[in-house]
Structure 1
Amino acid sequence: MPRLTGAGPAVPAASGASLSRAGELFQLLRDGHARTRAEMAEITGLARSTVASRIDALTVSGLIGPAGEAVSSGGRPPSRLAFQPTARVVLAADIGATHMLVALTDLSGRVLCEARAAIDISAGPRAVLDLVVQDCQKLLAQAGRHERELAGVGIGLPGPVEHSTGRPANPPIMPGWDGFDVPGYVQRSLATEVLVDNDVNIMALGERAIYWPHAQDLLFVKVATGIGAGLISGGLLQRGSDGTAGDIGHVRVPRGSDVLCRCGNYGCLEALASGPAVAAALAADGIPAVTGEDVLELAHRGNLPAIAAMRQAGRDVGDVLAGCVNLLNPSIIVIGGGLLTAGDYFMAGVREIVYQRSLPLATARLRIVQSMAADRAGVLGASRMVIDHVLAPASVDALLAGQ
């Protein structure tokens, strides 16, 4: 990992042993609260000299810095130290089937600047990822930052991803992407960490990190060109053994037994309730609609068949989520994606079926809400994914060892 930039006093070289747990000490300061060396020694039980050597190394790295003085109990007031989230930046890219949002954030996840673009995921990985790299370079220049300050790149893709390698795994709407080495390709242009995950997983991370930080069991559902879910259970994102956890778009809905899905099966939720599916159903009844955006426009104009179709799509999603509630018992279901700009029509359908068909105990404290992060959920989650990785104890220790 490239060295962090940041001002700090020169310190004597420390032994590997004295820095071996500096990453763990740093975790105390990630909450943003300033502390003195004495307070950290008291919290950790470490000798003050040990704390001092690790603090000095973290200060040189730029990860922490001075944050004023504490109240003196006699003599010179002790200085306080705090996490410096501006020490580095993170590039976060949320790539969908037809649109892409790329943002530059600091190490707290605060968005510094962003760029949006219309894309075609079927154009292939090289064409799409080249745009990500180009946007990264533009955003770095816009923010006045240098590429060496880039702590990492987080990317969300609209299909299953083997998270350990960052390679898409048989993604149904991404021709040419299967098995492609996304991290390796991006690293040809950007010499930094590159992490890749399914787009709904990172949306779940982003929504929880910013708006529901205390929720231990949260289900994020994206309804757009496709339908998927990101599951946080016990405070941890659950990806499943092959990275396909949460693929509710291909759960069968009884109402659609004769509807063919692009996966080859009949009755999949995605074939009934996704944006293109709802548009196709309206078009079959003579109502001009091709895309999910067309359906939204019709609903906003008060078109009754479009409103009814949105309500039914919500019921279909609720049909699948009722089973998820009984199985997983989340405390919060957050629903996002393009169709959610239709607002109450869709949400009413979801709530109607979930509360009707789930066990009373499982819904006693359940909240079903619309995404508060909206179309930024993905980049917020991609940023969080990278931040949690590069600021983990082992990563910080590796950084300090290379100073």
Structure 2
Amino acid sequence: MRKGDTQEIRRLNRRAILGYLRKGPLTRADLSRLTGLAKSAVSRLVDELLQEGLLEEGASTSPPLGRPGTLLHLRPRARFALGAELGVEGTVLLALDWRGEVLWAKEWRHPREVGPKERLERLLAEVWPHVPGPLGLGFTLPGVVVEDRLLLAPNLGWRGLDLKPLLQEFPLPVAAENDAKASALSEVFFHGEANLAYLVLSTGLGVGVVAEGRLLRGAGGAAGEVGHWLGQGGKTCACGRRGCLETELGLGNLLAHHQALGGQAEDLEALLRQAKEGEAKALEAIRHLGEALGRFLANLAVAYDPALVVVGGKAAELFPYLEAPLRQSLRTHAFLEAHRDLPVRPSVYGHLAPAVGGASLFLARFFELGGLWAERPRRNGGRYEEVAFGDRRGLGA
């Protein structure tokens, strides 16, 4: 046996136990049956997890056959992570527990021209009161992110940005990711879908694609930047080119179309309020966007053939009004018969989804490692403790 194999087996067995308990409460006997581990091994690992505060015991069971057992649960809020979205016009910061519950969320707006240093300084000030405690802070950006570098974020006007120097003052582990990619990973983590396209539609348009459980990144990290597919339009995009798809499908264009129809909404929140009130021009503008999105999804289905499309960003809150024209347009333009009824649903987290995706970077890593990020035994032989954020191998790497 190679050095470290015993510890790796322990890690994998803990991960299996935690993974089954994420689906619902189980007894030790249930875990032994599901994992194939001996009951003694399950009891030993469960005792570890109880001691570490990750599990709690609940009600006793009375099966018709066999001995009674005690149900084990993931302990609510036993571990949590912070997630943030650095958007074009504002920032979202939230705490997400390992069961997917948003513990709290805070949002603030800022002008587009505010630079990365100022935005991250404000984020650091908001994070400080919540440290220690979180596993880490994952934040998302609307652009091409490769490890600690932002290659390009057209709608922010940022290019070739080294994030490392800007993150040195943060008092906890930090990871950066593209907003659509992080959101797609959170869908894999929380819902287990192995083939999906996650559409973030707000100021811009991006897609995170998961195929066979692996996130598509591309050779340069730009996979999914579908907002910069070139169309026939003549509008100049924030990237400097003319005719990029997001100039037609971005929510800024939705608002401009509404105003061209004679609508009075000054922002998307006002437009959504008017749609809820049944205002005709607001509903017409949203219907027009829904038809365009249906055509776009017909193209996306040909390119990636996902089993599911999840709509996130601000568009998730418009989905009740987008859904009917979107589905009709998709049926009309679908290439394969199967694509006519491609499942499309809004993110359950609405516009908070990119920040949830950021927090999921750390939560998914925690589960992958069986709750053992890195280990060093205490001198008295007591329990192990989690330390710093590990490497980037694992979910979606």
1:191 is matched with 172
- Gaps spanning 5+ residues in structure 2: where? 378-383, 386-397
Preserved CA contact (<8 Å) 1:275 1:295: no
C-alpha separation in 2, matches of 1:282 and 1:69: 59
Identify the residue that residue 238 of structure 1 maps to in structure 2. Answer: 216
Map residues 52-131 of structure 1 onto 2, 5 A cutoff: 54-55=45-46, 57-67=48-58, 82-120=73-111, 122-131=113-122
Checking the alignment, whether the CA contact within 8 Å between 1:220 and 1:333 is kept in structure 2 is yes
1:30 lines up with 2:19 in the alignment = yes
Show the counterpart of 1:322: 298
Of 48-57 and 319-328, deviating more is: 48-57
The unaligned stretches of length 5 or more in structure 1 are 1-14, 141-146
CA distance 1:17–1:125, shift in 2 (3 Å): same
- Aligned-residue offset at 1:361: 2.3
Q: Distance in 1 between matches of 2:71 and 2:275?
A: 55
- Residue equivalent to 2:394: none
Partner of 1:87, secondary structure, is coil
Does residue 266 of the first structure (1) align with residue 242 of the second (2)? yes
Matched residue, 1:380: 356
State the alpha-carbon separation in 1 of the partners of residues 43 and 262 from structure 2. Answer: 74
Give 1:115-154 correspondences, 5 Å limit.
115-120=106-111, 122-138=113-129, 140=130, 147-154=131-138
Contact 2:84 2:92 in 1 (8 A): yes
CA distance in structure 2 between the aligned counterparts of 1:271 and 1:303, rounded to whole angstroms: 25
CA distance in 2, matches of 1:34, 1:288: 51
Q: Quote the residue 1:217 is aligned against.
A: 195
**Residue 45 to residue 310, structure 1, CA distance change in 2 (3 Å):** closer
Structure 2 residue 157 is the aligned partner of structure 1 residue 171: no
1:46-90 residue CA offsets vs partner (Å, 9 max, x unmatched)? 566655655555444433455566669999977665543533321
CA contact (8 A) 1:22 1:55 kept: no
**Partner in structure 2 of residue 9 of structure 1:** none
Distance 1:31 1:195, change over 3 A: farther
Partner AA of 2:18 in structure 1: L
Do 1:269 and 1:316's aligned partners in 2 also have CA atoms closer than 8 Å? no
User: What is the aligned partner in structure 2 of residue 160 from structure 1?
Assistant: 144
Structure 1, 345-354 or 322-331: larger mean CA deviation: 345-354
Equivalent in 181, 197, 212 of residue 163 of structure 2? 181
Q: Among the aligned pairs, what percent are the same residue?
A: 26
Going from structure 1 to structure 2, the CA distance change for 1:216 and 1:361 (only over 3 Å counts) comes to farther
Specify the alignment match of 2:8 in structure 1: 20
Residue deviations 1:171-194 (CA, integer Å, cap 9, x gap): 112234633225x633522233x2
Deviations 1:187-237 (A, max 9, x none): 522233x22211122233445655xx2533222222221111122222333
SS in 1 for 2:94: strand
1:3 is matched with which residue?
Answer: none
CA distance in 1, matches of 2:88, 2:244: 19
Q: What CA distance in whole angstroms lies between the structure 2 residues aligned with 1:43 and 1:303?
A: 54
1:239-259 deviation line (CA, Å, top 9, x unaligned): 3332222212112333x1x32
- The question of whether the paired residues in 2 share the 8 Å contact of 1:203 and 1:220 is answered with yes
Q: Which amino acid aligns with 1:230?
A: G
- Greater shift, 278-287 or 366-375, is seen at 278-287
What's the offset of the Cα at 1:325?
0.9
Aligned mates of 1:339, 1:55 — CA distance in 2: 42
Q: 1:149 to 1:295 in 2, by over 3 A?
A: closer
Offset at residue 349 of structure 1 (A): 3.9
- Which residue of 2 is the match for residue 5 of structure 1? none
SS in 2 for 1:86: coil
Work out whether residues 204 and 377 of structure 1, in 8 Å CA contact, stay in contact via their aligned partners in 2: no
TM-score when normalising by structure 2: 0.78
Give the TM-score taking structure 1 as reference length. Answer: 0.77
> 1:244 and 1:362, CA in 2 relative to 1: closer, same or farther beyond 3 A?
farther
Q: Deviations over 1:293-322 (max 9, x none)?
A: 565566567665554443333333333321
Taking only aligned residues, the RMSD between alpha carbons, in angstroms, comes to 3.6
Shift of residue 333, structure 1, vs aligned partner: 2.1
